């Protein structure tokens, strides 16, 4: 493997939680494939890592496209010399009051949030088998994938699906040495969350702050999550300390709900 370092592939790594995960894993010693649909942001994050003495390269991936995901993971192995961890982080979170959901929205959100995870798992298995070793697959769900959130029928539905897929994959892949877990962020200060808060506020004729409070008011720790809070949990799932953990969803929401 390249310099003996482990290799991680992270989707949606151009901004928000994905960026924080890429930076954290690079800090943990991983060579990181910064996968994103947006070439500009992927390049920026990869540069941040390399300027900081880490090893990274940007890869343009549309997770809704199965061939694209396979090609991106293949490119990662060729470029970085291996693959140990795949983080299926990319996701869309549109605000969708029930009566507004369209077939186009349904297709788009499910293809990215659920399809992207399935294709990421498949592509990871293909490479782990070729490389002759196991690995770790880490999927993004959400506190909205543990309990339904208002106005988020599409998003919540996809995130519940990711938890189910994570559990099944954990059972199916244990025999080839692969663990599969998920992380469930709460209300994180990211472009996606700010967008949700804005839309929920608008729909109620209120401001963005009010929109954010609809989600944030139940946080036990009384503060919004920073992307780094989530990246810390993913660091645990990507490292050796979680080797005996599989099929689980780690909720990183500041205590919005207890399970």
Among all chains, which residue has been given the structure tokens 């519940």?
160
Domain with residue 35: its CATH number is 3.40.50.720
Confidence of residue 131 (pLDDT cuts 50, 70, 90): very high
Q: How many domains does one find in the chain?
A: 1
| H helical segments located in the chain | 16-27, 39-51, 66-80, 103-110, 116-131, 153-173, 191-203, 208-216, 227-238
In a domain, 214, yes or no: no
In a domain, 257, yes or no: no
Alpha carbon distance 52, 54 (integer Å)? 6
In a domain, 171, yes or no: yes
In a domain, 217, yes or no: no
Confidence of residue 147 (pLDDT cuts 50, 70, 90): very high
Per residue in 207-257, pLDDT (tens digit) is: 998 998 888 888 999 899 999 999 999 999 999 999 999 999 999 999 998
Write out the residue range of the structural domain in which residue 80 sits.
2-188+224-252
Whether the pLDDT of residue 192 is over 90: the answer is: no
In a domain, 160, yes or no: yes
Confidence of residue 2 (pLDDT cuts 50, 70, 90): very low
Q: Compute the CA torsion angle 255, 237, 108, 158 (nearest 10 deg).
A: -50
In a domain, 199, yes or no: no
CA 218 vs CA 95, 140, 195: distances in Å:
19, 21, 19
Q: pTM for the full model?
A: 0.95
Among all chains, which residue has been given the structure tokens 């782990």?
128
Supply the residues annotated as catalytic.
155
In a domain, 205, yes or no: no
pLDDT at 4: 62
């Amino acid at each position: 493997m390249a310099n003996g370092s482990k290799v991680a592939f992270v989707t949606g790594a151009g901004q928000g939680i994905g960026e924080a995960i890429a930076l954290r894993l690079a800090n943990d010693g991983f060579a990181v494939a910064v996968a994103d649909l947006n070439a500009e942001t992927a390049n920026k994050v990869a540069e941040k890592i390399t300027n900081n003495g880490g090893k990274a390269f940007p890869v343009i991936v549309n997770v809704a496209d199965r061939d694209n995901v396979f090609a991106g993971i293949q490119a990662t192995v060729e470029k970085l010399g291996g693959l140990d961890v795949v983080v299926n982080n990319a996701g869309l979170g549109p605000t969708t009051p029930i009566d507004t959901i369209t077939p186009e929205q349904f297709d788009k959100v499910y293809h990215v949030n659920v399809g992207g995870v399935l294709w990421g798992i498949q592509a990871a298995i293909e490479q782990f088998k070729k490389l002759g070793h196991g690995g770790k697959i880490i999927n993004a769900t959400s506190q909205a994938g543990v309990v339904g959130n208002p106005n988020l029928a599409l998003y919540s539905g996809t995130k519940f699906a990711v938890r189910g897929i994570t559990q099944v994959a954990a059972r199916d892949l244990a025999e080839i040495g692969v663990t599969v877990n998920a992380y469930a962020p709460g209300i994180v200060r990211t472009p996606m969350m700010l967008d949700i808060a804005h839309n929920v506020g608008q729909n109620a004729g209120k401001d963005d702050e009010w929109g954010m409070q609809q989600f944030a008011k139940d946080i036990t720790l009384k503060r919004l999550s920073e992307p780094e809070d989530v990246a810390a949990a993913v660091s645990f799932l990507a490292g050796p300390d979680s080797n005996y953990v599989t099929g689980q969803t780690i909720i990183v929401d500041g205590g919005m709900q207890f399970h």
